[in-house]
Structure 1
Amino acid sequence: MESAADGASPPDAGGDGKNRPDGVTGRTGRNLPAAIAVGLGLGALVIGSLYVFKVLFLVVAAVAVGIGVTELVRAFATRGIHVPLVPVLAGLALMVAGAYWGGPAGLVGGFAVTLFTLLVWRMFRRGDGESGGHVTDGYVRDASASVLVAAYPAFLAGFVGLLLEPADGPHRVVIFVAVTVASDIGGYAAGVLFGRHRMAPVISPKKTWEGFAGSALTCVVVGAWLVTWLLDGELWQGALLGAVFVVFATAGDLVESVIKRDLRIKDLGTLLPGHGGMMDRLDSLVVTLVPAWVLLELFAR
């Protein structure tokens, strides 16, 4: 999530807020009312689908990640990197469903099938090289990007099926989403109020160590509260989960920032007002799915 651990822009970077779109401020650089409205709407969709029919949430999650995958594929295309969208989306559906109904073996098996399909698929597409567009031109480049998209975010998203499958799966998903979002909110607030020391100025100039501290504090508190409330766990378990989440969430955000900088784009899309593209909202979530499943599988026993 782009705002996790974000700090304020330097005093001369944001200007005085003039000539900016309505709702966008120089200090935050985003349309805060729109961002809040979209966030509340997404939260209602998640909660509603989770507790009405579990499989419905799987569909919602797969569609959301599918949109993110589409944004990534289109972004790669702007740099002449071709990733076949259809097999990646099919692989995403296979991995999410395989994880839910087949467990870890279903997820890993779906990933293996997806990778092999992508490698073979690219063999039948003509390249863009100067030697007549042979199938070998740019094969390694396109295949590598395809494998990247299949792993991040598609394979990581498959862990939502593992997280949701147990009887208390909806509670586990709520903990996963709430703690990850807490990282975003805590980092945003602390960064705007106190951010001075930049964490990764080349990769993400707005991120500060003060924002990261705010993310960590919020994650630990929310994690301790929800694990004890929803799963009857121990305070230390929830606090540990929060501490792990903030590291993974921040890393996921930075990974997406590196991808966008390499592709020379600001946001991967414009679907969500105040946020950017769907993938700009999913970058931290898909990464924290793995520690969420591992830790909650251990704690919930």
Structure 2
Amino acid sequence: MEESTAGTSPSGGSRTGRNLPAAIAVGVGLGALVIVSLFTVKEIFLAVIVAAVGVGVAELSRAFATRGIAVPIVPVLAAMTAMIAGAYWGGPSWLLGTFVVAVFALLVWRMFAGGTEGYVRDTTASVFTLVYPPLLAGFAALLLQPDDGPYRVLIFIAVTVASDIFGYFAGVLFGRHKMSVISPKKTWEGFAGSVIGCVAVGAWLVAWLMGGALWQGALLGALAAALATIGDLIESIIKRDLGIKDMGTILPGHGGVMDRLDSLVATLIPVWLLLTLFFG
């Protein structure tokens, strides 16, 4: 989520660096893909999760490679698939168990694949890549698992997207006070817009889709706004450390897949926890 105190440029892009028409078109397309797959066959949406996170893992691996850090993409992708599938069909214990086995396997893989030099550096980056985003994304499979799973996933995506949309426009229209040097275009006014949007969307959807209380949805939305913003900042500091602007270019107007997953994976666990606490 990038915010600014100015509007669009003459070329059709925004002063935030986004090509706004392209970003909207891509956003609508991704939204349609999510809705169609989510409310047809659950396993189709599960495949969408695996594909999206797989692209994100590949982007992160390439980003590390720019600094000479080797992350073995094939073992990480295999572990990611096993973790997400294990979460969906086996639950949290399978997600955790598969993750632990995968970590050990990566340590052994690097021991035989690259010798001693850079072992700690490469294995640390590999385990980090296994956590961010695959382990976090496994909670999307846990959200999907119950009978009302599609509604839970829809709430999770809607409140996170609301953080981006409301924060963006509030930042453009009212942004004056910078939030962090990590991401200079973010403003406190934009964050306030994120909170208002997330609280409103969360309260509405939790009451409508889950039959919950308005305060439950409002609490979920407020937490999602805070965590989505933190997720954006984490992604920003990773890119600054690696000296890159975007994780990729596959999504016009957005950058890479990881540039869209950053806020989503950050909100997954708290949203899953609250929905499980409220509705079992």
Aligned to 1:221: 200
Verify: 1:298 aligned to 2:277, yes or no. Answer: yes
1:58-89: CA deviation from partner (whole Å, max 9, x where unpaired): 00011001000100000100110000001111
Distance 1:273 1:115 in 2: 34
Deviations 1:175-211 (A, max 9, x none): 000000000001000000011111112x101011000
Q: Are the equivalent residues in 1 in contact too, given 2:16–2:185 (CA < 8 A)? A: no
Q: Secondary structure at the match of 1:30?
A: coil
Which of the residues 2, 9, 17 maps onto 1:29?
A: 17
Give the Cα–Cα distance (whole angstroms) in 2 for the partners of residues 114 and 81 of structure 1. 19
Uncovered stretches (5+) of structure 2, i.e. residues with no partner: none
Aligned-pair distance for 1:292? 1.2
3-state secondary structure, aligned to 2:113? coil
Query: In structure 1, what residue type is equivalent to 2:53?
Result: V
Q: Given the alignment, which residue of 70, 73, 81 partners 2:61?
A: 73
Match for 1:193 among 155, 161, 173? 173
- Alignment of 1:143 with 2:123, yes or no, is yes
Q: Partner amino acid for 2:248?
A: G
Correspondence list, 1:274-293, <5 A: 274-293=253-272
**Counterpart check, 1:260 vs 2:244:** no
Match of 1:212 among 160, 168, 191: 191
* Greater length-normalized contact order (CA 8 Å, ≥ 6 residues apart): 1
Give the partner amino acid of 1:108. L
Larger Rg: 1
- What's the counterpart of residue 132 of structure 1? none
* Residue identity matched to 2:124: S
In the TM superposition, residue 23 of structure 1 has moved relative to its aligned partner by: 2.4
Aligned equivalents of 1:184 and 1:17: distance in 2?
20
Q: Over residues 245-289 of structure 1, what are the superposed CA-to-partner deviations in whole Å (9 max), with x where a residue is unaligned? A: 011111111101000000000000000000000000000101111
Match of 1:38 in 2: 26
Other-structure match for 1:85: 73
Specify which structure has the higher proportion of helix: 2
Deviation at 1:17, TM superposition (A): 4.0
Indicate the residue corresponding to 1:235 in structure 2: 214
Which region of structure 1 is more displaced relative to structure 2, 113-122 or 233-242? 113-122
Supply the distance in 1 between the matched residues of 2:246 and 2:179 (Cα, whole angstroms). 20
SS state at 2:184 partner = strand
Deviates more, 1:291-300 or 1:258-267: 291-300
Does 2:94 correspond to 1:115? Answer: no
C-alpha deviation, 1:7, in angstroms: 2.8
Count of aligned positions:
280
Aligned equivalents of 2:239, 2:198: Cα separation in 1: 26
Deviation at 1:114, TM superposition (A): 1.2
Q: Percent identity?
A: 67
1:125, distance to aligned residue in structure 2 (A): 2.1
Give the corresponding residue for 1:176: 156
- Whole-angstrom distance in 1 between the partners of 2:176 and 2:102: 44
Asked whether the equivalents of residues 7 and 210 of structure 1 are also in contact (C-alpha less than 8 Å), the reply is no
RMSD between superposed Cα atoms in Å: 1.3
Detail structure 1 runs of 4+ shifted over 4 Å in the superposition: none
TM-score, length of structure 1 as denominator length: 0.91
CA distance in 2 between partners of 1:164 and 1:153 (Å):
17
Query: For residue 5 of structure 2, what is the aligned residue in structure 1?
Result: 8
TM-superposed CA distance for 1:161, in Å, is: 1.1
After TM superposition, the score normalised by the length of structure 2 is 0.97
Give the partner amino acid of 1:80. Answer: G
Residue type matched to 1:234 in 2?
A
Is the CA contact 1:23–1:30 (under 8 Å) kept in the aligned structure 2?
no
Distance (whole Å) between structure 2 residues aligned to residue 170 and residue 244 of structure 1: 20
- Does the 8 A contact of 1:157 with 1:286 survive in 2? yes
Matched letter for residue 166 of structure 1 = P
